[in-house]
Amino acid sequence: MSAFYAIASAFLYALANVITRLGLRYASTSSGVLISLLFGFGSVFIYCLFATSLDQYLNRGVFFFLAAGIIGPFLGRLLLYVGIERVGTAIAATLYEDKLLFAVIAAIIVLGEALSFPVLLGLLLMTAGTVIVSLEKSGGQIESKWSKKDLIFPLTAGACYGVSHALRKLGLNITPSPVVGVMVQNIGAMAFVPILVLTRMNQENILSNNKNAWLLFGLVGILQVLAQWCLFKALEIGQVVVVSPLSSLSTFFVLILTALFLHRLEKVTWKIVLGAVFVVSATLILTLKT
């Protein structure tokens, strides 16, 4: 069942990323992050009022969830949105999958999980796919070009999310409740919102008044909370070295959704497709392992 939840999480994240690309036409990156965080936090808060009790939050497991929220949903999301804005959804989503490398390294060092041959092979295929996509010169975007330096944003976003996977697993080992994990990590993400507002308020309209932006990024926030719950559930019953690679199927879903809904904004080139094939192949190997 861990494979099912991991793949469901991948699809929901992919859908959120594609909608993010649409939303960035109506609002800035910072505004998009803020709106999605507000909607995500609001939806999970309302649910947790009725589904959880206070004593579930009074243990040291919540500190790992908080750390995961700061590193993942906040910093990782901010970097990913910048990446999507600069290099396009297809490339950003594929390079973001370097989270697998950092997740596996963290799982082996921190959690003591084993690195089996299928996992190692999956890592190699995933790395190859990332390298191929990084060689794409067109940038995938029709409206603008990008610099190779812009690749650092999705790559760093992946590193943030990869490390947060291990932190989530540590928290679940103490507090085996995906709902509590989602709630606390969103609190961690929201805690740094004032810093985002203060640093950007003099440079841009930090909270967009565009209705389309609120609609699209509000939907993104809800989808990401659902994806987080699926990921927490997968981590609760499975290993990080297996769950994290399976969540990389989001690359495959992103390519399909991009071709269907973003064809006027982005082009899916053969290098992007080939890189995605490597990523999906790695995912299939790890799926069979489960």
The domain spans of the chain are 2-19+36-203+222-289
Check if the beta carbon of residue 85 is closer than 8 Å to that of residue 24.
yes
Q: Say whether pLDDT at 159 is over 70.
A: yes
Which residues are paired to 114 by β-bridges? none
What are the pLDDT digits (tens) for 101-148?
788 788 888 788 777 787 788 778 877 876 777 666 554 454 456 677
For residues 189-195, average pLDDT? 83
pLDDT of residue 136: 64
How far, in Å, CA of 81 to CA of 132, rounded?
22
Check if the beta carbon of residue 161 is closer than 8 Å to that of residue 72.
yes
What are the pLDDT digits (tens) for 17-43?
889 989 988 988 888 989 999 999 999
How far, in Å, CA of 100 to CA of 165, rounded?
9
pLDDT of residue 142: 45
Question: Other C-beta atoms within 10 Å of 20: how many?
Answer: 27
Question: Other C-beta atoms within 10 Å of 133: how many?
Answer: 29
Check if the beta carbon of residue 133 is closer than 8 Å to that of residue 199.
no
How far, in Å, CA of 259 to CA of 269, rounded?
10
Check if the beta carbon of residue 180 is closer than 8 Å to that of residue 57.
yes
At residue 203, what are phi and psi to the nearest 5 degrees?
-105, -25
For residues 33-58, average pLDDT? 92
Does the predicted TM-score (pTM) go above 0.75?
yes
Determine the length of the chain.
290
At residue 154, what are phi and psi to the nearest 5 degrees?
-65, -35
Check if the beta carbon of residue 93 is closer than 8 Å to that of residue 154.
yes
Cα distances (Å, whole numbers) of residue 28 to 91, 200, 265, 281: 19, 10, 17, 35
Q: Say whether pLDDT at 52 is over 60.
A: yes
